[in-house]
Amino acid sequence: MIKLFRRIRQKLLTENKFSKYLIYAIGEIVLVVIGILIALSINNWNETRKSRGVEIELLKTIKTDLERTLIDLKDDYEGHLIGQKNGNKFKFFLLGENMSEDSIFLYFRSLVQDRHFFPNSSGYESFKSSEMNIISNDTLRLMITEIYELTFPRIKEWDESNPRWDISMVLLPYYKKHFILTDQLVENQLNYSRYPEYKFKLKSIEEIRNDNELQIDLQQTFQMRRRKIGLNVNGIERIELVLSDINNELIKLNSDD
């Protein structure tokens, strides 16, 4: 092809047809420019496809992380609801309601238990280490950033890993103060011989009911748990919203191929 163009140029010059040669030269330049533009367009198209593929895989990873985190957060939420419910039952016992010793201990043990929050974040860490605009949807990019940088840290601040808001740390001293271990095995254990668990019993019903510090700390844990429940609810709602938007974005990106 190049030899053909060269022969045409030489023929026009030897025939002294300069005007035709000029038109031809301009046409040749136009063809070269068009070829370059086509090549650039193809290259840009390939790069866009590669970027879209990376974006899709990243969103899928973040989606999986959020789905797992959502399961854990819902479990924490249910655990806090149970703790709050059993805490109320234990409060009624302190106020004079009759209750079996086994029930007293079970309600107190449930009340003492707190929850850890460990969000899955491998996808978000990959996102942070890449170009931030790898997620092309500005709104979705902001939502993902906010849930990992604002929503999740607020929940973690109030979980059991923070001694200031650790329900078990507040109530554990009363565990030791008012209960003693017996030689009776807890019923319905899967393996008595390898993992024995023994029952506790109250030292004195009168003493625990008259423990004013316990009642004050109990009220404090109610407030703490309400805060944790509220943060869990907000986190669940935020995750579900982001997951919905990620699903919509994945449908859009896959349909663009």
Whether the CA torsion 126, 132, 138, 142 is positive or negative: it is positive
CA distance 114 to 158: 10
Residue 21 — very low, low, confident or very high, per pLDDT cuts 50/70/90?
A: very low
Q: What confidence tens digit (pLDDT) does each residue in 225-248 have?
A: 999 999 999 999 999 999 999 999
Q: Which two tokens stand for residue 177?
A: 């103060």
The residue written with tokens 């023994």 in the block is 198
Q: What confidence tens digit (pLDDT) does each residue in 140-151 have?
A: 999 999 999 999
Check if the beta carbon of residue 79 is closer than 8 Å to that of residue 51. no
What was the pLDDT predicted at 12?
Answer: 46
pTM of this prediction exceeds 0.85: no
The residue written with tokens 């022969």 in the block is 7
Q: Exposed, middle or buried by CB within 10 Å (0-12, 13-18, 19+), for 55?
A: buried
Q: Which residues, in sequence order, are bridge partners of residue 201?
A: 180
Q: What confidence tens digit (pLDDT) does each residue in 35-87 have?
A: 666 656 655 655 555 677 888 999 999 999 999 999 999 999 999 999 999 99
Closest Cα to residue 69, out of 125, 148, 154?
148
CA distance 39 to 141: 31
**Number of continuous H segments (helices) and E segments (strands) in the chain:** 9, 2
